[in-house]
Chain A
Amino acid sequence: EVQLLESGGGLVQPGGSLRLSCVVSGLTFSNYAMSWVRQAPGKGLEWVSSISGSGGGTYYADSVKGRFTISRDNSKNTLYLQMNSLRAEDTAVYYCAKSTHPTFGGVGAYDYWGQGALVTAPS
């Protein structure tokens, strides 16, 4: 059974940093691209960042570029999101999502999702 388990969410002051983790089990982790998707309270889904299965390709939304860093440790089956210079508008539930494809780029569906981690940066 495939499972994704996020951790690391919490309350952080604007300008602060936080690192989210997502541990994946039940599959060969390095075979799949992974992504972070967030949802602000009462709002829609927003794509944040993606990384290829090898870790060689990373992609970011303009809203987080230069502040967030996505990475993965395939030996630990873990995906990370390092979030720096947090703003009030970063407050959201952050989901990790597994792609059906090893690379990112217009192919691959998100077929498994974590339960979400809440990040709160009050204004």
Chain B
Amino acid sequence: AQSVTQLDSHVSVSEGTPVLLRCNYSSSYSPSLFWYVQHPNKGLQLLLKYTSAATLVKGINGFEAEFKKSETSFHLTKPSAHMSDAAEYFCVLNFNKFYFGSGTKLNVKP
């Protein structure tokens, strides 16, 4: 069975400090994984994707994620948070269709 678990429903950081959003997955096969961001009342925007070419994946807006098969994790990080990063983030597993995590709301304090 395919599933995605986002370990934190809310994360709060100060502007300029690092961001870590955690995601674990369960898949019977080699997964294709994505991170998407959603701003209020908007659709989802692709941040980055993992498709087995490299375990460290760089995305837009300074985000990156590392695929760790041994830990079945695909955590999203950014070295320095910006106010504009405040949004909801979804970890997604792709196996014929998208399986979404429940989302992590990122709050960035000035």
Decide whether A and B are members of one complex.
Answer: no
Where the two chains meet, the residues of B that have a C-beta atom closer than 8 Å to any C-beta of A are none
